């Protein structure tokens, strides 16, 4: 059986280039905060859940509106679903501003389409309420069930969004206006880039204004006055800094077979053998016969399977000292290596110490 394999080799080119400071670093203390909450989505068309905690929450909601259920009567409704609420509170968000909310079913609801979230609180990690959420749930997925038990679904119908569904109620304290310094944290730690940032700021504002703390952080002397500090940061974040080249690295996606090789990847002298072994197992119609008894015998059904093993001839290729990316790509393309084979080759080179790159499998 002929096997056709598509091998994708991508060139990861990271050259020295100037980028704005705001694109490669963030200001320490200026960060988003995660919020979470619990609520009820109502108005579902029979796609809600019937879990005990949903019924308890539904009964509690009714009691707050003065509705008292008779003794022994449970509050149940297929139009209600319990959901977990999550949201991101941006830095410097002020009371009255709106943020998006994501609602995810935590019961056995089949869909949240057409539902409305009742008034719910969103809390931070400290347990304080930072936002109030309510609104119509927008679901991108869909689902349908047939009378015979068949089911079809697209995306995830039990997760929805409420655009601008939460109103900020509390300000998160920030250290932005405290102290005489600000600290920039690089998104990708690198000693060379950190030095470039420090040098660029000192060339603009004078020696000693910026100092590097490590491969990630650069401390900068800043004015205390808030308005002056904002102007100061506006100037710094638009500075263009030369970003250092990345380390030699190979990234392998084990699911899709995509392999990304950095431009600085080199291999030492090495010889590699590539072979392919294909094992095919096919089901054969079962053999039916008698157990040998003349009368009163039983029918015997013997399942059978066919097994075929085919082995392709091996290939060997050799890398010269300091072979580059082009040499590696050309070699694996010549032998027609499959993605799994290439991964094995790269892992072997790494284990043998014949490659200078970090191998990352995702």
In a domain, 282, yes or no: yes
In a domain, 140, yes or no: yes
**Residue pair 210/220 in contact by the 8 Å Cβ criterion:** yes
Q: Are residues 144 and 209 in the same domain?
A: no
Q: Are residues 216 and 158 in the same domain?
A: no
3-state secondary structure of 36: strand
- Neighbouring residues of 317: CB distance < 8 A, sequence distance ≥ 6: 271, 272, 274, 331, 334, 335
Confidence of residue 132 (pLDDT cuts 50, 70, 90): very high
Q: Are residues 194 and 282 in the same domain?
A: no
Q: Tens digits of per-residue pLDDT, 179-225?
A: 889 999 999 888 999 999 999 999 999 888 999 999 999 999 989 88
Model pLDDT, residue 202: 93
Which whole number is the average pLDDT over 25-42?
91
**Residue pair 117/40 in contact by the 8 Å Cβ criterion:** yes
In a domain, 25, yes or no: no
In a domain, 28, yes or no: no
> Which one, of 11, 7, 8, lies nearest residue 336 by Cα?
7
Last residue of a domain, one of 168, 196, 227: 168
Model pLDDT, residue 178: 83
Q: Are residues 58 and 147 in the same domain?
A: yes
Last residue of a domain, one of 168, 198, 232: 168
- Neighbouring residues of 330: CB distance < 8 A, sequence distance ≥ 6: none
Which whole number is the average pLDDT over 313-330?
58
Strand order in the sheet with 210-212: 25-27, 181-186, 217-221, 210-212
Confidence of residue 277 (pLDDT cuts 50, 70, 90): very low
Q: Is residue 70 scored above 70 in pLDDT?
A: no
Tell me the average pLDDT of the chain: 76
Which whole number is the average pLDDT over 126-130?
93
Q: Tens digits of per-residue pLDDT, 326-357?
A: 666 666 666 566 666 666 766 776 766 667 67
Distances (CA, A) of 285 to 1, 299, 305: 21, 16, 8
Which whole number is the average pLDDT over 130-142?
87
Q: Tens digits of per-residue pLDDT, 247-276?
A: 777 777 766 667 777 767 766 666 655 555
In a domain, 1, yes or no: yes
Model pLDDT, residue 12: 41
In a domain, 191, yes or no: yes
Rounded distance, CA 130 to CA 173, Å?
12
- Neighbouring residues of 141: CB distance < 8 A, sequence distance ≥ 6: 111, 153, 154, 155, 156, 157, 158, 159
Where helices occur in 238-273 by DSSP H, the ranges are none
Q: Are residues 216 and 303 in the same domain?
A: no
Model pLDDT, residue 341: 65
Number of domains in the chain: 3
Q: Which domain holds residue 154?
A: 33-168
In a domain, 270, yes or no: yes
């Amino acid at each position: 059986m002929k096997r056709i394999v598509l091998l994708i080799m991508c060139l990861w080119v990271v050259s020295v280039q100037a980028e704005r400071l705001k694109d490669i670093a963030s200001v320490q203390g200026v960060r988003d905060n995660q919020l979470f909450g619990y609520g009820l989505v109502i108005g579902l068309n029979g796609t809600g859940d019937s879990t005990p905690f949903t019924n308890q929450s539904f009964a509690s909601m009714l009691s707050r509106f003065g509705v008292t259920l008779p003794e022994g009567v449970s509050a149940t409704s297929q139009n209600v679903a319990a959901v977990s609420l999550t949201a991101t509170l941006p830095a410097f968000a002020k009371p009255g501003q709106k943020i998006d909310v994501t609602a995810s079913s935590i019961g056995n609801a089949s869909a949240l389409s057409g539902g409305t979230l009742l008034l719910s609180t969103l809390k931070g990690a400290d347990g304080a309420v930072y936002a109030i959420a309510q609104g119509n749930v927008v679901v991108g997925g869909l689902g349908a069930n047939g009378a015979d038990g068949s089911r079809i679904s697209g995306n995830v119908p039990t997760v929805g969004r409420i655009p601008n569904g939460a109103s900020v109620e509390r300000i998160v304290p920030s250290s932005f206006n405290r102290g005489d310094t600000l600290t920039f944290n690089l998104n990708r730690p690198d000693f060379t880039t950190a030095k470039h940032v420090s040098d660029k700021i000192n060339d603009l504002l004078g020696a000693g204004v910026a100092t590097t703390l490590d491969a990630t952080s650069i401390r900068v002397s800043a004015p205390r006055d808030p308005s002056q500090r904002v102007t100061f940061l506006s100037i710094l974040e638009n500075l263009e800094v030369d970003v250092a080249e990345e380390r030699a690295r190979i990234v392998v996606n084990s699911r899709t077979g995509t392999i990304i090789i950095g431009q600085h990847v080199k291999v030492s002298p090495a010889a590699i053998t590539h072979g392919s072994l294909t094992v095919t197992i096919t089901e054969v119609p079962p053999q039916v016969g008698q157990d040998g008894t003349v009368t009163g015998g039983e029918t015997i059904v013997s399942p059978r399977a066919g097994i075929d093993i085919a082995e392709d001839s091996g290939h060997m290729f050799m890398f010269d000292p300091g072979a580059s990316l082009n040499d590696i790509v050309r070699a694996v393309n010549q032998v027609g290596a499959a993605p799994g084979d290439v991964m094995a080759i790269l892992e072997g080179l790494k284990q043998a110490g014949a490659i200078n790159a970090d191998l990352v499998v995702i």
